[in-house]
Amino acid sequence: MLSFLRFWLTGLICFFLFLSCSNTDKVINKTAYTDEVEISGTVIGSQSGEPLSKGTVWIEGSSFSTQVAEDGTFSMTVPKGFYTLVAEQEGLQRSRQLVELEEDKSIEFRLMDYTSAESSDSITEEPASLSGMNERVTYLERQVDSLEVMVKRLQRRLYGMQAEGKIQTFVNHYINDDLNCEVVNSEDINFDVTEEAGVMNISESVDLVVMNYELGYEVRVALRGYRSKRYDNVVGIKADADYFFREMTPRSNTQAEQWKLKRKEMFEGSLRHFLIALASDKPPIYFGYVFYAGSFVQNVSGLGYSSTERGDQQVQKDFFYQESNFSDTNILSFEDEIRVEYKRRGNTDPDNIMGLEDYLNQTSWISLNTDRLEFTDNGTLKDPNLLEVNGYWAYTPVCKMLPANYLPE
């Protein structure tokens, strides 16, 4: 009899847990739903002023993209929100624009040619005839510039051949974090030659292609800058990049289900999940969040945070959140810092990259570089640069990232 009751109670608890999780997903999806608008425009060459017909326009951090038509025009339909649009064409510099989409909008992109000295790999041929000293000096200056470019490239290639360990460390920390991911073109990564111990710098912009077999995405990383430094027991990482996602085709229904569950796991507890939860009419604990106000001490990495004064004064969301009276957006407004704990996930930081050894649960901190910051119900920030994020949210390797348009089914 007791065994039967125990079995019955266990089943009942599992049922309610399943029901609660399912309802949570429904609330998240309902909150994040916004009307769709059309973003359209033209892409032209900056020098020629002529339409460009072979480019692509995509939304940074998402899987939204469209090809530019023969007449240089483009259009796509997306949910209302704040987005960074990127236009590109092979051989031309990318152009980025931050746009607020509350209604249909048209914009123009102008793409410029590359004009760097490194556009040539070879030494310039001497002209057949040189008339005058000025021409001779100009010619010699070009040779020196070309030689310097070649020497720098040879140095980088030699250093790259000696830096397999550095590349693997870069991939482990920035890309996969022990997940099933692969950088297809790691040979394109060049590190600066530096004598500073424990420092890695990416010396020039690089487009990386990452195959995320864990979540089922091909991720294109337009990396503009990367720097990491190892301190006593913490690794500090800073990256400047744009991300674009393309869904992979599953090999089977089993793999499709695995991807679905893993994506949901990565989404829950993320910054975007937190913002959508704030916009909901449910209390934050319904989604697993608890908030604290108070000061903390920044550790030497500039990335992780640990503190002897952890600020254990619990606060409610109206302490730092409110709805806008003038638009369909939400507002973050607070001074000091807010510590956000996600109670449904423990502290997982095996390499101590985030400096969270004093915390039991997934812990992040947020602070503002402004008086107030707007965000939409679907979790897009008006200006992400105005929100300082540290702790767990500050360190998200590429293979734990999701498209900005992802929502659990």
What mean pLDDT do residues 10-28 have? 61
What pTM, to 2 d.p., does this model score? 0.78
More confident residue, 93 or 258: 258
Shared-domain flag, residues 122 and 100: no
Structural domain includes residue 396? yes
pLDDT value of position 269: 96
Mean pLDDT of 345-352: 72
Q: Are residue 103 and residue 145 in the same domain, yes or no?
A: no
**% of the chain at pLDDT higher than 90:** 42
Which residues, other chains included, contact 171 with Cβ-Cβ below 8 Å and sequence gap of 6+?
A: 183, 186
Question: Does 209 map to a domain?
Answer: no
In the predicted model, is pLDDT for residue 121 greater than 50? Answer: no
So what's the pLDDT on residue 323? Answer: 86
Evaluate if residue 316 carries a pLDDT over 80: yes
What mean pLDDT do residues 228-249 have?
84
In a domain, 150, yes or no: yes
**Is 243 within the bounds of a domain?**
no
Is the pLDDT confidence value at 120 over 50?
no
Give the model's pLDDT for residue 284.
Answer: 95
Q: How far is the C-alpha of 306 from the C-alpha of 357, rounded, in Å? A: 8
What is the per-residue DSSP string for 1-62?
-HHHHHHHHHHHHHHHHHHHHHHHHHHHHHHH---EEEEEEEEEETTT--B-SS-EEEETTB
Q: Is the pLDDT of residue 289 over 90?
A: yes
Mean pLDDT, the chain, integer: 80
Which of residues 76, 111, 146 is at a domain's end?
Answer: 111
> Is the pLDDT reported for residue 38 higher than 90?
yes
229 has pLDDT over 60 = yes
Q: What is the pLDDT of residue 306?
A: 45
Number of domains in the chain: 3
> Lowest-pLDDT range, 59-63, 73-77, 145-149, 348-352?
145-149
Q: How confident is the model at residue 100 (pLDDT cuts 50, 70, 90)?
A: confident
Tens-digit pLDDT profile for residues 47-88: 888 888 888 999 999 999 999 999 999 999 999 889 999 999
User: With bands split at pLDDT 50, 70 and 90, how would you rate the model's confidence at 301?
Assistant: very low
Query: What residues pair up with 264 in beta bridges, in sequence order?
Result: none
Same domain, 84 and 98: yes
Q: Do 281 and 392 have their domain in common?
A: yes
Same domain for 280 and 295, yes or no, is yes
Residues 313 and 381 in one domain: yes
Q: Hey, is 385 helix, strand or coil?
A: helix
Q: What is the pLDDT of residues 244-274, one digit of tens each?
A: 999 999 999 999 999 999 999 999 999 999 9
The verdict on residue 351 lying in a domain is yes
In angstroms, rounded to a whole number, what is the distance separating the alpha carbons of residues 68 and 401? 27
> Which residue stretches of 210-332 are H helix?
253-267, 271-279
Residues 385, 369 contacting (CB under 8 angstroms): yes
Same domain membership, residue 305 and residue 262: yes
Q: Would you say residue 3 has pLDDT above 80?
A: no
47 and 105 assigned to the same domain: yes
384 token code pair: 């992400």
Do residue 383 and residue 263 come from a single domain? yes
Instruction: Examine residue 221 and state whether it is found in any structural domain, yes or no.
Output: no
Mean pLDDT across 302-320: 68
- The reply to whether 365 falls in a domain is yes
Q: Could you tell me which residue, 68 or 308, shows the higher pLDDT?
A: 68
**Tell me, what's the pLDDT at 13?**
43
Q: What's the mean pLDDT in 382-391?
A: 88
Assess contact for 73 and 41: CB atoms under 8 A: yes
Could you tell me what percent of the chain has a pLDDT over 70? 74
Q: What is the mean pLDDT of residues 340-346?
A: 92
Q: What is the pLDDT of residue 220?
A: 96
Identify the domain containing residue 91 by its residue range: 38-111
Q: Judge whether 324 and 340 are in contact, CB under 8 Å.
A: no
Q: Report pLDDT for 275.
A: 97
Cβ-contact 280, 27 below 8 angstroms: yes
Mark whether 278 and 371 lie in a shared domain.
yes
Instruction: Provide the token pair at 304.
Output: 């992780």
Residue 138 has what pLDDT?
Answer: 57
Instruction: Assess if residue 173 is contained within a domain.
Output: no
CATH number of residue 91's parent domain: 2.60.40.1120
Tell me: do 283 and 378 sit in the same domain.
Answer: yes
If we measure between CA atoms, which residue out of 173, 327, 142, 307 comes closest to residue 238?
173
> Is there a contact between 177 and 400 (Cβ–Cβ < 8 Å)?
yes
d(CA 41, CA 72): 8
Same domain, 64 and 139: no
pLDDT at position 346: 86
pLDDT tens sequence across 160-215? 444 567 788 888 888 987 789 999 998 888 877 665 777 888 878 899 999 999 99
Q: What is the pLDDT of residue 390?
A: 82
